Each structure stands twice: as C-alpha cells, then as structure tokens.
Structure 1
Amino acid sequence: MINRVVLIVLDSLGIGYLPDAYKYGDEGSDTLGNIAKYHSNFRIDNLVELGIGNIDGISKYVKKSSNPKGAYGRAEEASYGKDTTTGHWEIAGLKLTEPFPTFPNAFPDELIKKIEDAIDVKTIGNEVASGTEIINRLGDLHVKTGKPIIYTSADSVLQIAAHEDVIKLEKLYEICGIVRDIMKGPYGVGRIIARPFVGKSGEYKRTPNRKDFSLKPIGKTMLDYIKECNMDVIAVGKIENIFASQGITHSAHTESNLDGINKTIQFINENNKGLIFTNLVDFDMLYGHRNDVEGYGDAIMEFDRMLPNIISTLKDEDILIITADHGCDPSTPSTDHSREYVPILIYGRNIKNNVNIGTRNCFCDLGATILDILNIKGNIEGLSFKSLIIKE
C-alpha cells in the first residue's frame, strides 16, 4: 500500500532535445549530457544507481548502472512551449494546446501605460534582458527615482525588479498582484515575477525573496484531486506560485536547493499522506540561464550527495519520483530554456528494480500514475504506468 509520493522537480534538468526542438531553435541541446561532457569533475553516483544513465537516448557521458535500484524512463513535452508553468502543469495533468504569449520585442506601450496607471507609478526598463544585467545597469536609476524595473525574457514572463530598501517586499508583491490581474487574455503571460534585490551601486544582488504570480490552472490537476480526497498536498519551493495556490494544503518557501532538500526531508519525517511536491530552482535560475556549466554541474552533484539522505528517510509506504520540467542547457549560446526530454526516476520499497518505462509521450503520465498509485480517480490527461513499476 503506497500512501505518499515524494515528487522532486530538478528545475531545467533536460536530457536531450525533442524531435520538434528545431521549431524552438534548440537542436543539439542536452542539459545533463553536455554538463557531463564539459564539467571538469562530474560524478553523480547515486543518480546513476537509480538508473539515470540507463534511460533511452541518454548521453554517452552519463554512466550506466548494471542493475539500477529503481525504475527509469523519459518523457517528452506534449504541450506547446518550454516554460516552467507549462512543464509543471503538464506534469500535473494539464496539456496546453496553445502556448503562453511571449514578447520578444518587449511589451507594447499601451500595456505599460495601463500598468503604470494601475500601480500609480512610472516604470523603467521594458526590455528583453537578463535579470542580473538589468539591475546592474538600471539599478542606480531605480534607487534614485523609485521607479520599478520591468523586463521580460524568451519565456512567457513579466518581471518586476526593485531594491528592497526602495520598494518594500510587501509593496512589490502588491504591485505584482495588480499586474497579474491586468495581464490576461492576449497579455496572459504564464508568470509575473517579483525580483527583489539588495546592495549598492555596482554590487546589486538578487535575493531569495522572489515570488511568482502565475495564472490559475485552466482545469483541475492531480493536486486538486488529491486534496479533494482529504490527503495532503505539500508544496516546497515555487510549486505554490506555479499553481496559484490551487490544490495545495501546505507550502514552504525555500532559499536554495539545499534548503528545499532539507525541507523536503522534514516533511517526509512528518505524519502526512498524499503528495510532497518539490521544485529545486537553483539549477535553472542560477546556472542554466547564466550559461554556467561548472556551477550547474556542482549543483547536480550537491543534490546527488543529498539523495541518500532523502532515500533513507522514506517510509515503506512512500515512493520517490525525480523528474524535470524542461531543459536549460548552459553549454549553448542561448540563455533560454530548451525543448528537451525530461528524466523519470522512481524508487521505493514497493517499486521494481531495473524497469525501463521507456519514452512517455506526455509529462502528464506522471500525474496519471501518481493518482493511480494513490488509488484516486481523476479526470486529467495522461496514461498511468503504475502496472509497470509496482511490485506484485
């Protein structure tokens, strides 16, 4: 009897470009494979033991196990897009037929005016830019004038940066909430992101107080069905923001991958049933978007070192699932997400060893499988692979 699933999303840890990656300019992307190839001293022995190197199509630079401890496979994204919200929603059973809008030439003047009228302050920026670069370039002007910095990226996002001493956190969050209400319909980006920073001129640094304001899910997800069955849905990291708090019974903010891992372990130690859903964002935010192969590789190895602690905490009735939501290959010239397969690793006392679940044609098979394992009926996309992995 399995009554709890621990689902950990290694944000952006793709494992090779999808057949349609050419439509996104992502041919050749392979986040994990290229890190394994180019990192100076890459070792992930514990992930290898679970079977990550045995996944179909995995890079030759990722070691294989002769007898993996868990079940393993990969999934391709069925929705249009390659952003965080799309990936997580699909994992939870929502397949999008239309991509979220992006603004490769920044936002139209009429939208910026509408935002400024609503928040009652002028803004600066309105560019497609790197978050670290734009605060260093416009930070002084922001501090002098008090005007928040608006920018976007290749993702479906509108980001608002402000110094914590100039615009207090609660005020910044309030501004982002107002902008979220405005950004709907043709302007309905996946996320409005508060990007607070601190420091002085030339030394500005973003803080862990980021907050995402996502659109509400367009339908019911596995989270809703688990919650309706009076089970726990515990969100660790930015999961609560990605799902706009829908279907969640408890949440915990995190300041780093390590903090997220430790909080996940704390929740595993508690007496809860249902789903612990964790996002570890540092891979993507700190390293993928900054083309930092060494930093990304080091972060994966940190997770790998902590993996035995997670596994040793699991109860007999638990299973652990490790996956990702998209790629963000730090070895390519692009700083954008990449359209890639994501890994699936499943481990637990009730999980068969060395079972290849193959290639799933939708991330949503994860959500369908989780509901099936918890014996919950739900009307979501996806095909369960429970029968392939559960011991008789």
Structure 2
Amino acid sequence: MVVDRVVVLVLDSVGVGELPDAAQYGDEGSNTLGNIAEEVDLQLPNLAQMGLGNIIPLRGIPPAFEPTAAYGKMGSQAPGKDTTTGHWELAGLILEKPFPLYPNGFPPEIIEPFEKAIGRKVLGNKPASGTEIIHELGEEHMRTGYPIVYTSADSVFQIAAHEEIIPVEELYRYCRIARRLLQGEHAVGRVIARPFVGEPGHFIRTDRRQDFSLEPPRPTLLDILSQAGLQVLAVGKIKDIFAGRGISRWIHTHDNMDGVDKTCKYLRESERGLIFTNLVDFDMLYGHRNDVKGYALALEAFDKRVPELLENLGPRDVLFITADHGCDPTTPSTDHSREYVPILAYGQPIRPGDIGVRPTMADLAATVAELLHVPYHLDGTSFAQALL
C-alpha cells in the first residue's frame, strides 16, 4: 500500500498510565487520561470511535466494538519525562542519559556569566510555576528591569520579561546567550523565552513564547526524511524542540485550535512527506496547573475537531495521534509524569485493530519511515506490518 503523507499529532502530556519505572520519578498512580475520566464525565465520542477506550479502561468511554483506527500504547526507553526527551524518542532518538535538572536553581558558574553577558542582574533563579513567579516578581522586574530566571522539574532555563520592559526580540537575544552558555554538563534541554504583559496583579503570558532547544546529538526521523527529499512540515513548537533541524517549513500556533487549523491547512496544501504537530495547551495551560476541568474541556474541544482532521486526509494519508509524556492534573504534583502514551493510527491504508504495547516511542519513527518507503537506521522497530 502506497502512503504519501503521514501526520503525527502530539497531544502534549496526554498520558495513559504509569510506566513500570514511574516510582523512580515519584509518579506512582499517575494516569493523565484515566484519572481525568474518573473525576469528570468526559465526552470524547470521536476518539472513542477510533478506539481510545480500547487502549485502557476509561470511565464513560467504553471500548469500541468496531474501532475505526489501529490502537495501542507506547513506552519510553529514554530516562526523563520532559518534552524534548519525549519528542526526540518519537522521532527515533533515544537519549542515553537525562538532561540536567536544577532543583536548587542554577549555580554561580551559570548565572554570573549570563548576568555579565546581558549587562543586568536576574531575579528568581529557582524552580517555580511560570504563572506564579511572574505574579511574585513581576512588579520588581518592572521596577528594576531585571529579567526573571527560573526552572522547573524539567530541564529548562526559562526567562520571563514584560514586553514593555524588555522587548521580545531582546528577550530572544538573552535566550540565545543562555543557550550558548548552557553546554557540556549544563546542557539543559531547552532555554525558553516567556514574555508577558499586563499590570501587577494582572499579568498574562503572551503567545510569543519561543524555545531554544539543544540540537539533537544524532540524526532523527526529520533528518532522514528531509535528506530523502520529502517535506517535513512542523506545526506548533515542533520547530523549537528540534532546533529547526530537518524541517522544510514551520509555523507557530496560538493555541490548540489554531494548531488543528494549521494542520488542516498543511493537509490541503502539502505534498509527500510528514506533518508533525504539537498541541501544547493540554500540558501548558491545564496539566501544569492541576486544572482537571480545563484539561477535560480541552480534550473535548479537540475531539470535536477530529472529524475535520479525518475529512482532510487523502486516500494515501495516515494520521497518528499520540503524546510525549503525562502531566496528570489530578495528582498533587504540577510536573510531568512518567507514563505510557496512546497511539491511534487512522487512514484508508490502515487496518483497524489492536497493535498492543510498543516498548519505545521510537517505534513510531521506524513505522513512519517504512510507510513512506525511506531507509531507516535509527532507534526503534517498525510496526507498519501490523497496520497494513
């Protein structure tokens, strides 16, 4: 069966249950999708028809008797549970060691050269919620002009600044400086610009966030597809996660719905290759804020757009819906959770049914390469023959 295009759509943080090593990460009992379904009457009829309820037991979402998609779940072989690690594994690159973390803030050998390079002191320098730290330090930032530096349970160096105090392009310049400094033992996965606006007590982060990722240390699926002459189109923060490498065209998005819009646009316009989309709102707006109701509403909003996505698929297109990690909003933690991720595969070439549990998310990369008839030598094992 000839496949011309593959869409990989990542529902950021929509995990489906703890991995065997979850206890090592403090994530026992995490099950992002399952626990949300226990607390909220989830209505996901379109995903249910595809086979979402066949992957794990979900209250209110029974298994489909005749699912329209192939379904299963994938584990992770890479250490860690952050965005970069998960996406790189989805693209066939399994990290051997985790990115560095900074639970006590960044040491002087990082902060002092950074302050010297930007010509300003910094505020914060501690793990924090992005919304909470701008409310805590935003007023002082506006008074002093000092940027707010913070991290999280992920390997990130985040810089927040009010757009009227430090213009966005200047904030991006600070991030590029930090990215150059954060190498070797301090090579964090991402440096993130976090611009915000508003007045004290009413600060709001804007959608001009930008990620400055570490470049993948080895080739990924994106590299081998682009080298084979296929288009690789990135929607959302995919371009940032892969430091732009192996990507033909890219477009940032404002929110999940804009991400679906842009994916459909690429489906209407593009030729043979890969469309790689990240829908970040599940994670950024709801998982990290333990907003169960908001997460559920976002899932339902996406479910309503599923028919439109399927209608835009051509006869030789395949859609994969998956995730990169968990971020269970029902647990006390506001961090990512170490979970399996779902896999739904849909398209005219696809034979619906159970594809079981794949040991690594890298199996998806191998499968995409086989479907597109591109030689593959990266991590993972293809399950294309189970789909066709």
Name the TM-score class by shorter chain: over 0.9
- The answer to whether the 8 Å contact 2:37/2:59 transfers is no
User: Pairwise mapping of residues 101-250 of structure 1 onto structure 2 (< 5 A)?
Assistant: 101-250=100-249
- The answer to whether the 8 Å contact 1:15/1:58 transfers is no
Separation in 2 of the partners of 1:16 and 1:114?
42
Deviation at 1:63, TM superposition (A): 2.2
Aligned partner letter, 2:151? T
Aligned partner letter, 2:184? G
- The answer to whether the 8 Å contact 1:9/1:322 transfers is yes
Q: Pick from 333, 348, 372: which aligns with 1:374?
A: 372
- The answer to whether the 8 Å contact 1:162/1:197 transfers is yes
Structure 2 SS opposite 1:54: helix
User: Pairwise mapping of residues 1-392 of structure 1 onto structure 2 (< 5 A)?
Assistant: 1-39=2-40, 41-55=41-55, 57-60=56-59, 62-353=61-352, 355-390=353-388
Structure 1 SS opposite 2:344: strand
Moved over 2 A (4+): 57-63
Separation in 1 of the partners of 2:58 and 2:309?
26
- The answer to whether the 8 Å contact 1:148/1:162 transfers is yes
Separation in 2 of the partners of 1:281 and 1:239?
10
Separation in 1 of the partners of 2:10 and 2:137?
33
Separation in 1 of the partners of 2:118 and 2:66?
58
Separation in 2 of the partners of 1:296 and 1:197?
22
Deviation at 1:102, TM superposition (A): 0.3
Deviation at 1:227, TM superposition (A): 0.3
Deviation at 1:230, TM superposition (A): 1.1
Aligned partner letter, 1:379? H
Per-residue displacement from partner, 1:350-384 (whole Å, max 9, x unpaired)?
1012x111000000000000000000002210000
Separation in 2 of the partners of 1:151 and 1:58?
38
- The answer to whether the 8 Å contact 2:18/2:29 transfers is yes
Aligned partner letter, 2:359? N
Deviation at 1:271, TM superposition (A): 3.4
| CA 1:271–1:242: 2 relative to 1, 3 Å | closer
Deviation at 1:114, TM superposition (A): 1.2
Structure 2 SS opposite 1:316: coil
Per-residue displacement from partner, 1:222-250 (whole Å, max 9, x unpaired)?
10011011111000000000000000000
Return the TM-score normalized by structure 1.
Answer: 0.98
Aligned partner letter, 1:44? L
Structure 2 SS opposite 1:204: strand
Aligned partner letter, 1:246? R
Per-residue displacement from partner, 1:185-214 (whole Å, max 9, x unpaired)?
111110000000000011001011110111
- The answer to whether the 8 Å contact 2:42/2:60 transfers is no
Aligned partner letter, 2:47? L
**Paired-residue identity, %:** 53
- The answer to whether the 8 Å contact 2:320/2:345 transfers is yes
Separation in 2 of the partners of 1:194 and 1:334?
24
Aligned partner letter, 1:114? P
Separation in 2 of the partners of 1:185 and 1:120?
24
Aligned length: 387
- The answer to whether the 8 Å contact 1:16/1:58 transfers is no
Separation in 2 of the partners of 1:308 and 1:65?
17
Separation in 1 of the partners of 2:336 and 2:323?
12
- The answer to whether the 8 Å contact 2:289/2:329 transfers is yes
Separation in 2 of the partners of 1:253 and 1:141?
31
- The answer to whether the 8 Å contact 2:9/2:277 transfers is yes
Per-residue displacement from partner, 1:269-315 (whole Å, max 9, x unpaired)?
11321000000000000000000000000000000000000001100
Deviation at 1:261, TM superposition (A): 0.4
- The answer to whether the 8 Å contact 1:33/1:62 transfers is no
Question: How large is the RMSD of aligned CA atoms in angstroms?
Answer: 0.8
Deviation at 1:62, TM superposition (A): 3.6
Structure 2 SS opposite 1:196: strand
- The answer to whether the 8 Å contact 1:4/1:274 transfers is yes
Structure 1 SS opposite 2:321: strand
Separation in 2 of the partners of 1:195 and 1:255?
14
